[in-house]
């Protein structure tokens, strides 16, 4: 009889009849509720995540295909066009398109993949809810066990004493004993099973510990899954927001990282099963085996006789820790989304900023394009004049005025650099304000933990998370120093605008000079029909158009530099924010300390920059002074003798050089003519002297000044200075007389007659009589300014030779209330006059003209060249100072490289010119290369010529000194000065002429005929002067012999 309760009560048909049926009844009561809980938990926890992954993976695949297609198209276009030959503009456009493709990919992934995953993984009480449900289920199961039968008699199973895993050590020992003593102690056929008691023991000893282990394991699996998700997105974020790898110009790094993210998202699905829960919360087969083994020995001495506690042990704190860890994982995804939003917002602001800067420059470009149209219209008008003969000069004058006026009107519309800078700064300030708004909209902080390593064993939640202060990091990313650098970026555009305006003014002068040169060629040509002036006009306008293109290049290069500088600062700000937001706690503290150090260093640099610059300039000045002081000692010791004292015979010498190289363009030949200047635009280094002259003229009008004596070294440009001075004075009063003494006057009657003729007063044979008539002349009948050049022709270094000069100075002093006198004399003659008549010179104001400095010489040369409109390129010297070559090596091909070569060239030109402007122009023309590159001037390295064709003896040197003292000398005058016979003097002059050191002075033409040329082939009446090209060399030679000082 089986399945009957021992007390005879109960329904025998409904009672279990075997151990297996009892085990099944207990499993239904104990195991089934937990199984349902775990199935419900797996479904609820995984459904949202699985749905987000199922939708996100195809979306990411589409975004990846779109990105790969864009990169492939750009690579194909670059390969077909040849990126190397496309120039920087093509590379910049390609980079811009690649950046747009990357931005589209980021936006789509953030919206279609990242956002759904963030929503699916955000559950603040995930572990706590599961732990609470497990406890509730355990209590419910324990209460339900009271409904099980109290005691059931069933047959003993034949396998009751078989070994079972999981039954415990003591139960296993008792089983072994029962098996060994089976004939004695195990002879029963039935045993009584307390079903409810066995169920409670199974619940307390097996099920509840298993459920607790299952809970912990489920949270570890969940943490490992979330850790993999964090790693995938963190690595992806580092690639899409971090700086690109070196040499990656085609977006390969981003594409590789996108494919990696795709693989990892697919791996996270794990075939569609829940990655953080088990199907039943425990090993069902093992648990049921343990239950069946316990039921089989129930009611015997082998069974457990203790009563376990069925109250579940709670893991509330552990659940809270797992929930905290999971929330930090979700915060990591939030951090990724926030950084993507910031990147998109900052990029949009930066694009708008560069677009607004570009719009301002486009307005400038529109003005330059308008100038090009006006120049093209001028060329068209000039082309229509081709072939005409009569009246062409007047037409060209009208066209010149029209073209220059058109350019000037457009020039007036171009923005002034300060106004342009203010406008660009306003737009930069607006962008900075929006950057700050983006930073202030960031969450104040997000609490995250370190991204777990792939091999990390997640036994328990990691240490405490750390707070990422996003708002503070965003504000630091665009702090005051970075904002100041962004504000300073448009300064390059403002500086370029100054260059553009200078270039526009220059091209206007170039265009005007083309007309002026054409008109001058027509007026100077013997046969106007043989001159085609339209060629010079068209060339001038074409070169002016080239200046427009150059100006366009300057302004757009400056815009690119400003955009690059601003983009670099924005990129570094984003990099700072990314590093600060993704760094762990220790790295974050290090970055904060580094930012503080960098800020302090920047402030120190700003504080000390001016002082260091001042100290460097002072040291440089001290070195220059030491060099100037030690140079005479070096020369006296014969160390490094300079070019000014070398007089060796060479095959090519300055004395035999032609003054104007053949083959120069007509415009360039006119610009670099050796004739004295009349154009004030070409005068350089004389502003102070002109200001002195104008101040003296202003004082004269208030009767508070003396006469002026302009004192200048021979060849330093005194004639040009006086021409410009006369033009400037005549601008206020047209009654100006400008004359030059070219022959020596030795009698007062001759001098009075010459001055009277210049003043329009006849019949004055004495200076006193002439002075009286000047003082008595009615107002307005006499010129108010008289400028006389060549006053050295009034004296002669003979006994009584200075008396006429004294009379002239007394005459000018007496008549200065009516006439503003300006005289000029060479420095050598002035030194002689100071010794012979110092008292007379005390009543005259001196205006010394020094030799031009290297910078002023550069200004003088480039002022002429600028009017030609030709592009200029300096060739690098192959020999020279090692220091210069070393400094050039790192700058080769850049604008600074050209500036360095230019500076070096003009320093050498200044030394080679020896104070002579004519010689400097001559060397420049020798360096000019017009043939290598058509329409451009290449300046070859300077190769100075030797000054003389042969050595000069001491007598020849003193003869040259005498000529310099007097300006010009005849043979007879020289004989009288040095007190030697005329034949010997004639021989000396012939020898110096053969050496091409001196030449006969040109005689001014009167009525087209030379006014008294050289008197015969023996030159007895000819006047001699030092050849202009060797003036500086002669002075240097005489100084080296201590003959001149």
Q: Confirm if 583 and 591 have CB atoms less than 8 A apart.
A: yes
* Yes or no: domain 954-1040 corresponds to CATH 1.10.10.10: yes
Q: Confirm if 98 and 251 have CB atoms less than 8 A apart.
A: yes
β-strands 928-929, 937-939: how paired?
antiparallel
Of 236-240, 375-379, 499-503, the poorest mean pLDDT is in 236-240
- Burial profile 426-448: b = 16 or more Cβ within 10 angstroms, e = fewer: ebbeebbebbeebbeebeeebeb
Is pLDDT at 269 greater than 70 in this prediction?
Answer: yes
| Helix segments in 928-1012, DSSP class H | 954-966, 971-978, 982-994
List beta partners, residue 1000: 1024
Residue 969 confidence (pLDDT): 94
Residue 176 confidence (pLDDT): 58
What's the rounded Cα separation, in Å, for the pair 163 and 160? 9
Q: Confirm if 548 and 372 have CB atoms less than 8 A apart.
A: yes
Mean per-residue pLDDT for 517-546? 78
Segment 993-1028, tens digit of pLDDT: 988 899 998 876 543 333 344 443 344 578 999 998
Mean per-residue pLDDT for 527-553? 82
Is pLDDT at 164 greater than 70 in this prediction?
Answer: no
- pLDDT higher at 322 or 896: 322
Is pLDDT at 939 greater than 70 in this prediction?
Answer: yes
Mean per-residue pLDDT for 462-479? 84
Of 410-424, 452-466, 794-808, the poorest mean pLDDT is in 452-466
DSSP state of 736: E
Of 330-339, 500-509, 653-662, 927-936, the poorest mean pLDDT is in 653-662
Query: Helix, strand or coil for residue 1009?
Result: strand
What's the rounded Cα separation, in Å, for the pair 465 and 158? 58
Residue 4 confidence (pLDDT): 47
- pLDDT higher at 915 or 960: 960
Of 276-280, 490-494, 1037-1041, the poorest mean pLDDT is in 276-280
CATH number of 686-850: 3.40.50.300
> What is the chain's mean pLDDT, rounded?
80
End-to-end CA distance of the chain: 151
Residue 357 confidence (pLDDT): 93
Is pLDDT at 142 greater than 50 in this prediction?
Answer: yes
Distances 950 to 652, 653, 913, 923, 944 between C-alpha atoms, Å: 11, 9, 19, 21, 16
Residue 494 confidence (pLDDT): 92
What's the rounded Cα separation, in Å, for the pair 494 and 562? 10
Is pLDDT at 97 greater than 80 in this prediction?
Answer: yes
Residue 186 confidence (pLDDT): 54
Pick from 336, 572, 349: nearest CA to 443: 336
Mean per-residue pLDDT for 900-912? 88
| Domain boundaries of the chain, sorted by first residue | 19-314, 333-452+462-582, 686-850, 855-939, 954-1040
Query: Helix, strand or coil for residue 446?
Result: strand
Residue 646 confidence (pLDDT): 36
Query: Helix, strand or coil for residue 923?
Result: helix
Segment 271-322, tens digit of pLDDT: 555 665 554 455 667 777 777 666 666 656 556 666 677 788 888 888 888 8
Residue 976 confidence (pLDDT): 92
> Strands, E, within 908-953: which ranges?
928-929, 937-939
What's the rounded Cα separation, in Å, for the pair 624 and 629? 9
Residue 416 half-sphere exposure, CB side, CA atoms within 13 Å? 3
Distances 709 to 5, 36, 728, 822 between C-alpha atoms, Å: 148, 119, 17, 6
SS3 labels along 551-608: HHHHHHHHHHHHHHHHHHHHHHHHHHHHHHHHCCHHHHHHHHHHHHHHHHHHHHHHHH
Is pLDDT at 562 greater than 90 in this prediction?
Answer: yes
Query: Helix, strand or coil for residue 20?
Result: helix
């Amino acid at each position: 009889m089986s399945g009957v309760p021992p007390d005879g009560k109960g329904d025998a048909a409904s009672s279990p009849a075997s151990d297996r049926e009892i085990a099944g009844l207990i499993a239904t009561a104990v195991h089934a509720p937990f199984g349902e809980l775990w199935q419900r938990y797996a479904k609820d926890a995984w459904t949202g995540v699985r749905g987000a992954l199922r939708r996100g993976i195809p979306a990411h695949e589409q975004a990846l295909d779109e990105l790969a297609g864009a990169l492939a198209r750009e690579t194909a276009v670059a390969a077909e066009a040849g990126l190397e030959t496309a120039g920087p503009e093509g590379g910049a456009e390609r980079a811009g398109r690649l950046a747009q493709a990357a931005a589209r990919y980021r936006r789509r992934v953030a919206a279609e993949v990242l956002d759904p995953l963030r929503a699916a993984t955000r559950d603040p009480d995930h572990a706590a809810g599961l732990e609470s449900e497990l406890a509730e289920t355990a209590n419910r199961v324990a209460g339900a066990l009271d409904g099980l039968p109290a005691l059931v008699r069933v047959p003993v199973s034949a396998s009751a004493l078989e070994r079972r895993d999981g039954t415990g050590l003591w139960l296993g020992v008792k089983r072994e004993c029962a098996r060994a003593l089976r004939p004695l102690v195990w002879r029963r056929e039935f045993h009584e099973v307390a079903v409810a008691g066995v169920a409670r023991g199974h619940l307390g000893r097996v099920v509840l510990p298993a459920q607790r282990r299952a809970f912990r394991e489920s949270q570890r699996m969940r943490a490992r899954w979330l850790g993999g998700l964090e790693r995938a997105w963190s690595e992806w974020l580092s690639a899409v927001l971090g700086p690109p790898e070196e040499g990656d110009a085609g977006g390969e790094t981003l594409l590789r990282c996108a494919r990696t993210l795709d693989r990892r998202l697919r791996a996270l699905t794990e075939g569609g099963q829940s990655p953080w829960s088990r199907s039943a919360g425990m090993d069902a087969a093992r648990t049921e085996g343990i239950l069946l083994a316990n039921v089989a020995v129930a009611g015997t001495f082998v069974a457990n006789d203790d009563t376990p506690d069925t109250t579940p042990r709670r893991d509330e704190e552990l659940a809270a820790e797992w929930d905290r860890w999971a929330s930090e994982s979700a915060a990591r995804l939030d951090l990724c989304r926030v950084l993507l939003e910031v990147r998109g917002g900052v990029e949009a602001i930066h694009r708008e900023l560069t677009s607004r800067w570009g719009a301002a420059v486009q307005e400038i470009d529109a003005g330059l394009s308008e100038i090009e149209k006006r120049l093209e219209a001028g060329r068209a008008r000039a082309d229509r004049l081709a072939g005409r003969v009569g009246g062409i000069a007047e037409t060209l004058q009208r066209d010149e005025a029209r073209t220059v006026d058109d350019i000037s009107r457009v020039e007036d519309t171009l923005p002034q650099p300060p106004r342009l800078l203010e406008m660009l700064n306003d737009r930069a300030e607006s962008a900075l304000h929006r950057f700050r708004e983006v930073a202030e909209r960031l969450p104040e902080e997000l609490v995250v933990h370190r991204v777990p390593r792939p091999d990390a064993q997640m036994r328990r939640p990691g240490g405490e998370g750390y707070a990422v202060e996003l708002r503070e990091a965003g504000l630091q990313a665009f702090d005051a120093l970075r904002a100041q650098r962004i504000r300073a970026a448009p300064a390059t555009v403002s500086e370029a605008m100054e260059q553009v305006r200078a270039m526009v003014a220059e091209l206007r002068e170039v265009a005007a000079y083309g007309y002026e040169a054409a008109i001058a060629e027509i007026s100077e040509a013997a046969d106007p029909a043989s001159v085609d002036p339209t060629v010079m006009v068209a060339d001038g306008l074409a070169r002016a158009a080239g200046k427009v293109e150059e100006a366009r290049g300057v302004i757009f290069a400056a815009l690119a530099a400003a955009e690059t500088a601003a983009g670099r600062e924005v990129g570094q700000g984003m990099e700072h924010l990314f590093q600060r937001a993704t760094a762990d706690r220790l790295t974050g503290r290090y970055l904060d300390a580094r930012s503080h150090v960098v800020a302090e260093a920047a402030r120190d640099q700003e504080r000390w920059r001016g002082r260091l610059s001042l100290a460097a300039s002072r040291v440089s000045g001290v070195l220059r002074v030491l060099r100037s002081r030690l140079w005479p000692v070096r020369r006296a010791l014969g160390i490094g003798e300079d070019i000014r004292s070398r007089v060796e015979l060479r095959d090519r010498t300055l004395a035999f050089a032609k003054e104007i190289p053949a083959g120069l363009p007509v415009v360039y030949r006119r610009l670099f003519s050796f004739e004295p200047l009349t154009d004030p635009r070409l005068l350089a280094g004389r502003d102070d002297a002109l200001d002195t002259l104008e101040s003296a003229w202003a004082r004269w009008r208030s009767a508070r000044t003396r006469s002026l004596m302009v004192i200048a070294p021979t060849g330093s440009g005194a004639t040009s200075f006086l021409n410009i001075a006369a033009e400037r004075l005549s601008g206020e009063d047209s009654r100006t007389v400008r004359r030059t003494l070219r022959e020596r006057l030795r009698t007062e009657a001759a001098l009075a007659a010459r001055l009277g003729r210049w003043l329009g007063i006849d019949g004055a044979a004495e200076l006193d009589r002439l002075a009286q008539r000047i003082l008595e002349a009615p107002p307005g009948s006499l010129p108010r300014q008289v400028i006389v050049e060549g006053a050295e022709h009034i004296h002669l270094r003979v006994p009584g030779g200075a008396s006429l000069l004294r009379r002239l100075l007394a005459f000018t002093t007496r008549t200065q209330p009516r006439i503003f006198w300006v005289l000029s004399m060479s420095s050598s003659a002035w030194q002689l006059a100071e010794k012979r008549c110092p008292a007379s010179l005390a009543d005259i104001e001196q205006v010394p003209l020094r030799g031009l400095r290297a910078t002023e010489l550069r200004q003088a040369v480039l002022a002429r060249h600028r009017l030609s409109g030709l592009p200029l390129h300096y060739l690098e010297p192959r020999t020279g100072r090692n220091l210069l070559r070393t400094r050039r090596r790192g700058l080769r091909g850049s604008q600074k490289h050209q500036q360095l070569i230019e500076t070096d060239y003009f320093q050498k030109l200044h030394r080679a010119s020896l104070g002579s402007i004519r010689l400097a122009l001559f060397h420049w023309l020798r360096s000019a290369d017009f043939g290598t590159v058509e329409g451009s001037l290449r300046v070859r390295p300077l190769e100075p010529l030797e000054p003389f064709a042969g050595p000069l003896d001491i007598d020849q040197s003193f003869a040259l000194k005498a000529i310099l003292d007097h300006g010009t000398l005849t043979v007879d005058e020289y004989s009288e000065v040095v007190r030697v016979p005329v034949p010997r003097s004639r021989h000396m002059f012939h020898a110096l002429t053969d050496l091409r050191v001196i030449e006969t002075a040109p005689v001014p033409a009167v009525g087209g005929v030379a006014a008294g040329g050289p008197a015969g082939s023996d030159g007895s009446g000819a006047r001699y002067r030092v050849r202009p090209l060797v003036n500086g060399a002669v002075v240097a030679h005489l100084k080296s012999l201590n003959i001149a000082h």
